[in-house]
Amino acid sequence: MKAVRLRQYHERPVVEEVPEPRITSAQDVIVEIGGAGLCRTDLHVVEGQWQQKSGVKLPYTLGHENAGWVREIGPGVSHLTVGDPVILHPLMTCGLCRPCRSGDDVHCTAGAFPGIDCDGGMAELMLTSARSCVKLDPGLQPADVAALADAGLTAYHAVRKAVSLLYPGSFVVVIGAGGLGHIGVQCLVALTAAEIIVADTSEDALALAQSLGAHHTVAATGDPVSAVQEITAGQGAQVVIDFVGERGTESQGVAMLRRAGSYFAVGYGGHVNIPTIDVISAEINVVGNLVGTYNDLDELMTLAAQGKVRLHTSTYPLDAVNDAMDDLDHGRLRGRGILIPGA
């Protein structure tokens, strides 16, 4: 089968033939991939940013945003049948450790992360576990929702954690309305009554955010901190969700907060530097966000089936993975890029 393989760090991946995966465990599931999302994390993987954290042995197959149809199941799988459309939680988890038993799948002590530390889904077929499979509503197609498996899940997870802080009349700032941020805006509209402020350097992204329900938009090329302060009558926002996390958005995001506000870091690459006296005197909270739980993904699929969350996508055949990466890297990709095996 064809797969997108990373052979060397700092070199673009190649599409090559590899053996098809095989069922070796009772809970194994083989999925025929209908769509594999392209994420900025994939660029960071190629750049070697995950080399030490993942410990993966090269070469391996990229792709951690995956959806498709069940092709084959292990003998212990009872809730899936061949042909079922599914979206895959990005982690394969044990279900037995304390984090798993408390629903905190992403911190499984024995988990694997396809596309990061083992073979992922930028391929015609992918081996996963029964526990990772979320059945899709008949009205949803794998290629249309694949990027919700990570980008959407991450955005939803951050919003879900912020919901208790966002009462009617409160303000939330979304920094970056691109591939993750435009999903975050929709989740905020669906789950909260807060006023949503979106900051981005792209006029197209701001227009998209407004069409999705954002109440205010701010051009990040100017002075977004002052603009947010003006909108919030000089008080700042209760919550800032930073989907960029680099190139200065970290300091801007913290400066947009009101007293006892919470800065949610989703995008990464930069540094959060806050004097401890400011953390204490203003009771600033910094909240990290890593993917999301199985239940988060299940809830997100419900919103997608209800039409409350939808992806803006561009599709590419598997062989055009490097064209897709170029478009993402150079800011030409609006929304999410989806690789379609066999297209």
Confidence of residue 334 (pLDDT cuts 50, 70, 90): confident
- If you average pLDDT over every residue of the chain, what do you get? 95
Q: Can you give the pLDDT at residue 257?
A: 98
CB atoms inside a 10 Å sphere around CB 17: 8
More confident residue, 280 or 269: 280
Name the CATH architecture for the domain at 153-288: 3-Layer(aba) Sandwich (3.40)
The CATH label, of 2.70.50.30, 3.90.180.10, 2.30.110.10, 3.40.50.720, for the domain at 2-150+292-340 is: 3.90.180.10
Confidence of residue 319 (pLDDT cuts 50, 70, 90): very high
Q: Can you give the pLDDT at residue 178?
A: 86
Residues 6+ positions from 94 with CB-CB distance below 8 Å: 100, 108, 109, 110, 111
Cβ–Cβ under 8 Å, residues 25 and 40: no
- Read off the pLDDT of each residue in 27-43 and give the average, rounded to a whole number: 95
Q: Can you give the pLDDT at residue 331?
A: 83
Note the pLDDT tens digit of each residue in 54-112: 899 999 999 999 999 999 999 999 999 999 999 999 999 999 999 999 999 889 999 99
- Read off the pLDDT of each residue in 303-325 and give the average, rounded to a whole number: 95
Confidence of residue 196 (pLDDT cuts 50, 70, 90): very high
Would the CATH topology of 2-150+292-340 be identical to that of 153-288?
Answer: no
CA distance 121 to 106: 18
Give domain limits for the chain.
2-150+292-340, 153-288
Residue in 304, 314, 320, 255 with CA at minimum distance from that of residue 284: 255
Q: What does each C-alpha distance from 73 to 25, 53, 112, 320 come to in angstroms?
A: 9, 31, 19, 30
Over 80: is that where the pLDDT of 163 sits? yes
What radius of gyration do the chain's Cα atoms show? Answer: 20
Q: Can you give the pLDDT at residue 312?
A: 85
CB atoms inside a 10 Å sphere around CB 40: 19
Dmax of the chain from CA atoms?
Answer: 61
Structure tokens at 139: 């009205």
Q: Can you give the pLDDT at residue 64?
A: 96
* Four-CA torsion 185, 191, 192, 196, nearest 10 degrees: 0
Structure tokens at 30: 């083989």
Q: What does each C-alpha distance from 88 to 135, 269, 270, 283 come to in angstroms?
A: 9, 26, 29, 38
- How many CA atoms does the CB half-sphere of 326 hold within 13 Å? 5
Note the pLDDT tens digit of each residue in 228-239: 999 999 999 999
Residue in 165, 160, 159 with CA at minimum distance from that of residue 185: 159
Pairing of strands 336-340, 2-6: unpaired
Over 90: is that where the pLDDT of 271 sits? yes
Q: Can you give the pLDDT at residue 191?
A: 98
Over 80: is that where the pLDDT of 27 sits? yes
Q: Can you give the pLDDT at residue 174?
A: 98
Q: Can you give the pLDDT at residue 67?
A: 98
- Read off the pLDDT of each residue in 299-325 and give the average, rounded to a whole number: 95
Cβ–Cβ under 8 Å, residues 185 and 175: no
Cβ–Cβ under 8 Å, residues 300 and 291: no
Cβ–Cβ under 8 Å, residues 78 and 144: no
CB atoms inside a 10 Å sphere around CB 191: 17
